């Protein structure tokens, strides 16, 4: 149970960078409406400069945050084991609900979704082999594409 709270708290730090990037755009003179999805994704990724790699908790490290077109890609390593030790569905069952709830509930992120921005989360084992990935976007939060 305590571990679950630590995961939620730690993942909030990941989401904070995304909120801050969109928040900066929302507060600019032009607002989010004048920026393309690619520009918004770049602004969010730029918020991570100098902040990664970053240990989220004793098992998870955020390695990078990059923009790829209209996507913001968060690359993570589960340092407590190799990719052979974790199942795709188990990793998703821990991280997807928390990230989806955090992103879908935020007004700044909703404005990014409305422009077509998506958030991709990639998880690898400590052997640098991908375990799983998932995308959270407007439609996955019940909005439009």
Q: What percentage of the chain exceeds 70 in pLDDT? A: 75
Show the domains of the chain with their CATH numbers: 2-141 (3.30.300.250)
Q: How far is CA 106 from CA 16, 30, 59, 113, in A?
A: 10, 20, 26, 10
Tokens representing 12 are 């909030």
How many Å apart are CA 94 and CA 96, to the nearest integer?
6
- pLDDT value for 24: 52
How many Å apart are CA 117 and CA 84, to the nearest integer?
32
Decide if pLDDT at 72 tops 70. Answer: yes
Q: How far is CA 145 from CA 18, 27, 75, 133, in A?
A: 19, 24, 23, 20
How many Å apart are CA 20 and CA 90, to the nearest integer?
29
- The band of 13, judged by pLDDT with boundaries at 50, 70 and 90, is very low
What is the mean pLDDT of the segment spanning 68-91?
95
């Amino acid at each position: 149970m305590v571990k679950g709270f630590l995961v939620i708290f730690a993942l909030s730090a990941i989401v904070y960078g995304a909120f801050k990037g969109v928040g900066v755009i929302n507060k600019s003179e032009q607002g989010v409406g004048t920026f393309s999805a690619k520009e918004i994704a770049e602004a969010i990724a730029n918020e991570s400069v100098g902040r990664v790699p970053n240990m989220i908790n004793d098992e998870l490290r955020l390695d990078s945050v990059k923009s790829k077109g209209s996507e913001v890609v968060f690359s993570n390593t589960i340092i407590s084991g190799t990719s052979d030790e974790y199942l795709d569905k188990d990793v998703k069952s821990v991280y997807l609900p928390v990230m989806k709830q955090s992103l879908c509930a935020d007004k700044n992120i909703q404005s990014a979704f409305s422009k077509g921005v998506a958030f991709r989360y990639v998880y690898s084992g400590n052997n640098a082999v991908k375990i799983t990935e998932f995308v959270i976007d407007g439609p996955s939060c019940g909005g439009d594409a």
